[in-house]
Amino acid sequence: MSSSPFYITTPIYYVNAEPHLGHAYTTIVADVLARFHRLDGREAFFLTGTDEHGDKIMEAAAKAGQTPRQFVDRISGLFKALWPRLNIEPSRFIRTTEEEHVKVVQRILEIVNDKGEIYFGEYGGWYCQGCERFVLERELKDGLCPEHLVKPNWIAEKNYFFRMSNHQEWLIDHIKSNEGFIRPQRYANEVLAFLKEPLEDLCISRPVSRLPWGIPLPFDDNYVTYVWFDALINYLTGLHWPHGEGYAKFWPVAWHLIAKDILKPHGIYWPTMLHAAGIPVYRHLNVHGYWIMGEAKMSKSLGNVVQPLELMELFGADAFRYFVMREMSFGLDASFSQEALISRLNGDLANDLGNLFARTTAMIERYCQGQVPRGLPAGPAEKALKDWAAETVEIYRTEMGRLNFHLALKAVWEYVNNLNRYIVGNEPWVLAKDPRRKPELDRVLRNLVFGLIRVAYLVWPVMPATGEEMLKRLGTALVISEQGLDYILSSAVDPKGFQVAKGPAFFPRVEAVERKDREEKPPVAGPPPKEPVDIEEFARLDLRVGLVVDCVKPEKSKKLLVCTVDLGEEEPRQILAGLAEHYDPEQLKGQTVVVVANLKAKKMMGLESRGMILASVDDRSVKLLKAPKGARPGTVVR
């Protein structure tokens, strides 16, 4: 075992959307790794935070009717507040709007600029708002951004560029000669494949006139820093680069964790930026796959799907953490479903682990007044159990180090089930009937507690609250030892004389839940409430049910759809709706909608609109407000 320190980072998340399963997963993995390394005798630093500059954030703030500052404070707060609910304890939560970070970014820009690695030039390119980057022609699929499936905008302007191409050969060589620099290997191959073509220089500025929300370039205040150049540097700020003690200690052992969506910025921009600035590159970039909502996606239209983070609140943070760590093979996609979560919870947690704990502690309460028996020689079965524990620790340590969390947990569960078999094989309830066999009974019970203590330590990185509570009920407490995990194989954890308490079930069996109220949660980015109105004022609006009998998209407009709507009048009306980016004309035909019928007629793009179709609008989607099934055209809505 080595005692070198350990540094783990998550991506810093964009604050334009509420935290979801994907964000939770990466951050859980980071927390598990930090805890595992601490448990194995290393000092660990774990950094997460929020990415708060750029176009997307400006736009989301504007939609919410807030200043960017108010907006980012609010959403960043949602992320920060979620982590303790998931038993996640970062060493630092960093925000790119912090003054320290602004200074670090500017300092690095100066260094890179002084080295002649930045120039001013003109560039036209396809800009994908979702990716917040220029997407190369060859990356497009049928003219669309492959990640966001939207057509990028063509933007041409004068900007500052980083000579990324200067570092292409170095990067190829570095990836090839450092196994595991990017891992799993398939992602290193993906980056190498990309690097077969000449690398373009990276546009690292945005004119303030277009985007005022960013870090000003230290050498030209008409420009702010491109959000990726700003965001990646958080990994240094987090350690108080350049003079921080943390930087000296942890940067040489930096591990980044990301999903495959942001491989390019981390696998190409970041190492070349560091290389250009003369800063050593990170040790490992660890790339995981996507969580897919699987079958749940289909039933989502039924409106009864309980979202993953809601399930976490219902079933508990530790069970949720166990599920995601056990279910996903790091590097590959995995699908999330309530059924799979429940099956793990009732199987692995309630049956295997929960029962082992309950049975063992109940027997000690019943046969030994709650006190673990002392001073008994071990027989061959106990020797086998001890060997098994040593083997489990070995596999666990190896697989954790390789990010094969599912295999590490599998090994722990084999040990758990071995303990369960040890109970069945020794039938302590039979031994208890014969007073002459008391020494045998004592030996079995003490060994079971010994085993449970080891299990508590091994599950602690993944289920910290459970691990700690198990130890407490077994009459002891977690020790982070310099010996690392070998500590749990030593006699220091021998439970003789410990006072044990069974306590309530750790993981009561659960059943599937349905979403009771079908209302979505209020959108994060909703605008502030409007002034109150009198009922009379409201009553002046003539709201009606309308049937869309026809719908076409005029060629001239990107946003508008021309709808023909039956409102129960002599003739259907023409109503223009700004829905073209969200609905195909075909999807609207036959819908019963809610219409503001007495809106004054208005001309748009030379076409008259008589009324307005209502829709819900938030920062992510626009959805048609549908009238109740069977409501006839012209019916009043009030």
Q: Please report, as ranges, the residues that interact with ligand ME8 according to CB under 6 A.
A: 11-14, 22-23, 25-26, 51, 231-232, 234, 258-259, 261-262, 290-291
CB of 236 to ligand ME8, least distance (A): 11
- Least Å distance, CB 586 to ligand ME8, is 29
Q: Among the options 37, 63, 131, 203, which is catalytic?
A: 131
Say whether 328 sits in a helix, a strand or coil: coil
Instruction: Confirm whether 266 is a catalytic residue.
Output: no
Q: Report the alpha-carbon distance of residue 283 to residue 270 in Å, rounded.
A: 12
Is 438 among the residues known to form the active site? Answer: no
Give the three-class secondary structure for 446. Answer: helix
Question: Smaller CB distance to ligand ME8: residue 22 or 568?
Answer: 22
Closer residue to ligand ME8 in complex, CB, 25/506: 25
- Residue 20 is a catalytic residue: yes
Active-site annotation holder among 145, 203, 551, 563? 145
Is 386 catalytic? The answer is: no
Closest to ligand ME8 by CB, 123 or 290: 290
Closest CB to ligand ME8 among residues 238, 546: 238
Instruction: Tell the smallest beta-carbon distance from residue 527 to ligand ME8 (Å).
Output: 22
Structure tokens at 91: 């060493």
Tokens representing residue 523 in the block: 């959108």
Exposed e or buried b for every residue in 224-256, given b needs 16+ CB within 10 A? bbbbbbbbbbbbbbbbebeebebbeebbebbbb
Nearest distance, CB of residue 151 and ligand ME8, angstroms: 20
Q: In the bound complex, which residue of the shown chain has the CB atom lying closest to ligand ME8? A: 22
Establish whether 148 is a catalytic residue.
Answer: yes
Q: Are strands 561-566 and 543-552 parallel, antiparallel or unpaired?
A: antiparallel
Give phi and psi for 392, each to the nearest 5. Answer: -60, -45
- Provide the minimum distance between the beta carbon of 210 and ligand ME8 in the complex, in angstroms, as a whole number: 20
Distances (CA, A) of 554 to 544, 558, 606: 25, 8, 11
Q: Least separation, in Å, of the C-beta of 18 and ligand ME8?
A: 10
Closest CA to 134 of 41, 81, 197, 200: 200
Instruction: Tell me if residue 297 is catalytic.
Output: yes
> Among residues 23, 101, 264, 288, which one is catalytic?
23
23 is catalytic: yes
Which residue, 48 or 66, has its beta carbon nearer to ligand ME8?
48
131 is catalytic: yes
Q: Where are the beta strands (DSSP E) in 386-474?
A: none
DSSP state of 283: S
Asked, as a colleague might, if the bond just before 242 is cis with ω within 30 of 0, I would say yes
Please give the C-alpha separations between residue 537 and each of 407, 533, 534, 542, in angstroms, as whole numbers: 64, 6, 5, 11
Helix (H, G, I), strand (E, B) or coil at 389: helix
Minimum distance of ligand ME8 from residue 132's CB (angstroms):
8
Q: Which is nearer to ligand ME8, 265 or 495 (CB)?
A: 265
Q: How far apart are CA 38 and CA 557, in angstroms?
A: 59
Question: Of these residues, 151, 300, 383, 602, which one is catalytic?
Answer: 300
Catalytic residue among 20, 438, 582, 589: 20
Which candidate in 151, 297, 383, 602 is catalytic? Answer: 297
- Between 181 and 291, name the residue whose CB sits nearer to ligand ME8: 291
Distances (CA, A) of 565 to 170, 571, 599: 63, 9, 14
Catalytic residue among 128, 203, 551, 563: 128
Cα–Cα distance between 445 and 405 in angstroms, integer?
30
Residues tagged active-site: 20, 23, 128, 131, 145, 148, 297, 300
